[in-house]
Amino acid sequence: MKRNIDLIKLNKSLIKSFKKLNINKSQNVFIASDLSCLRKLRIPKKDLLDLIYKSIKFSLPKKSTIFVPTGNIDLCNKDFVFDIKETPSKDMGSFSEFIRKKKKTVRSLHPLWSVSANGENSKLLNNVSKHSYGIGSPWSLMLDLDTVQINIGKHPSKAVTLIHHIETIFGVPYRYNKQFLKKIKVNNKIIISDFYMSVFFKKINAEKKIKLNEHYFNKLKKNKKLNHTINEYGLEVWSFKMRDFYSIAIQEMKADIFNYLEKKPRLDLIKMY
Exposed/middle/buried for 28, CB within 10 Å: 0-12, 13-18, 19+?
Answer: buried
Question: Could you count the other beta carbons within 10 Å of the beta carbon of residue 53?
Answer: 17
pLDDT at 77: 84
pTM recorded for the entire structure = 0.94
Per-residue pLDDT of the chain in tens (273 residues, 90 and over written 9): 556 667 888 999 999 999 999 999 999 999 999 999 888 888 899 999 999 999 999 999 999 999 999 999 888 888 999 999 999 999 999 999 999 999 999 999 999 999 999 999 999 999 999 999 999 999 999 999 999 999 999 999 999 999 999 999 999 999 999 999 999 998 889 999 999 999 999 889 899 999 999 999 999 999 999 999 999 999 999 999 999 999 999 999 999 999 999 999 999 888 754
pLDDT at 161: 97
Exposed/middle/buried for 142, CB within 10 Å: 0-12, 13-18, 19+?
Answer: buried
pLDDT at 187: 86
Pair type for strands 65-69 and 115-119:
antiparallel
The three-state secondary structure class of 93 is coil
Which residues contact residue 217 at a Cβ distance below 8 angstroms, ignoring those fewer than 6 apart? 155, 156, 157, 226, 240
pLDDT at 186: 85
- Interior/surface letters 239-272, b for 16+ CB within 10 angstroms, e for the rest: bbbbbbbbebbeebbeeebbebbeeebeeeeeee
pLDDT at 272: 55
